[in-house]
A and B are shown apart, each in its own frame.
Chain A
Amino acid sequence: QKEVEQDPGPLSVPEGAIVSLNCTYSNSAFQYFMWYRQYSRKGPELLMYTYSSGNKEDGRFTAQVDKSSKYISLFIRDSQPSDSATYLCALYQGGKLIFGQGTELSVKP
């Protein structure tokens, strides 16, 4: 079993839709939970970061962590064509950063 599982998609939604991206993990030792966004032909960039169970909001983005279920989510409200990218969950523990496979999102105008 992989340490982090993420639905690879691709996911296609109309502009304005609410997007839900999800990851599950198996190792309860993970300390920090992140979401990275990667545009085509670019390196990933940090989008959201949290270390505790619960919700964290930043504009149209909400990161949700449920440590008891080992489940993390990223919600995008009022999605825009500029949100079209690959989204990767990433979990950190002791120097190691483990990424999910990434979900490719396309937001159609």
Chain B
Amino acid sequence: EAQVTQNPRYLITVTGKKLTVTCSQNMNHEYMSWYRQDPGLGLRQIYYSMNVEVTDKGDVPEGYKVSRKEKRNFPLILESPSPNQTSLYFCASSPGTSGIYNEQFFGPGTRLTVL
């Protein structure tokens, strides 16, 4: 089944404890992206990657790191999480970045709580 998977789905952690949220897609998509969703603010893009080894900042990159060493994986790293990073996180991928090929397929979400 073609899909975007994220792990873990739920995570409660404490301030300052490094964590990684994994994202993997099995559709051979070029483009991958991370978003956070907060009430009243909608979905905001954190980082995106248009291809392997190419990453760019979205609207809210502070406090996050990403890497794209392989086409299928795009992990989100929080080196020192803080309570303001408590949010619902979505990973997405798309075949490309032109026309309908930029239709993004979203993963199921990761609910992160930082105490």
- Selected interface stretch from B14-22, B41-49, B67-75: B41-49
Are A101's CB and B41's CB within 8 A? yes
Are B107's CB and A43's CB within 8 A? yes
| A60 sits at the interface (CB 8 A) | no
> How far in angstroms is the closest Cβ of chain A from B109?
6
Give the interface residue-count category, chain A: 20 to 34
How many pairs of residues, A versus B, come closer than 8 Å at their CB atoms?
55
Query: Which chain B residues lie closer than 8 Å to A8 at the CB level?
Result: 40
Alpha-carbon gap, A102 to B38, bound state (A):
11
Give the interface residue-count category, chain B: 20 to 34
> How far in angstroms is the closest Cβ of chain A from B29?
14
> How far in angstroms is the closest Cβ of chain A from B59?
7
Query: Which chain A residues lie closer than 8 Å to B59 at the CB level?
Result: 96, 98
Are B45's CB and A98's CB within 8 A? yes
Query: Which chain B residues lie closer than 8 Å to A96 at the CB level?
Result: 45, 48, 58-59
> How far in angstroms is the closest Cβ of chain A from B42?
4
Alpha-carbon gap, A97 to B43, bound state (A):
9
| B82 sits at the interface (CB 8 A) | no
Are A97's CB and B33's CB within 8 A? yes
Q: A51's closest neighbor in chain B, by CB?
A: B99
| A88 sits at the interface (CB 8 A) | yes
Among A32, A88, A98, which residue has its beta carbon within 8 angstroms of that of B99?
A: A32
| B102 sits at the interface (CB 8 A) | yes
Which residues of A (75-109) have their CB < 8 Å from a CB of B? 88, 90, 92, 95-102
| B108 sits at the interface (CB 8 A) | yes
Q: B4's closest neighbor in chain A, by CB?
A: A43
> How far in angstroms is the closest Cβ of chain A from B27?
14
Alpha-carbon gap, A49 to B108, bound state (A):
21
Chosen A-B contacts, 7 in total, with CB atoms closer than 8 Å, are A8-B40, A32-B99, A32-B102, A43-B90, A43-B108, A97-B33, A97-B45
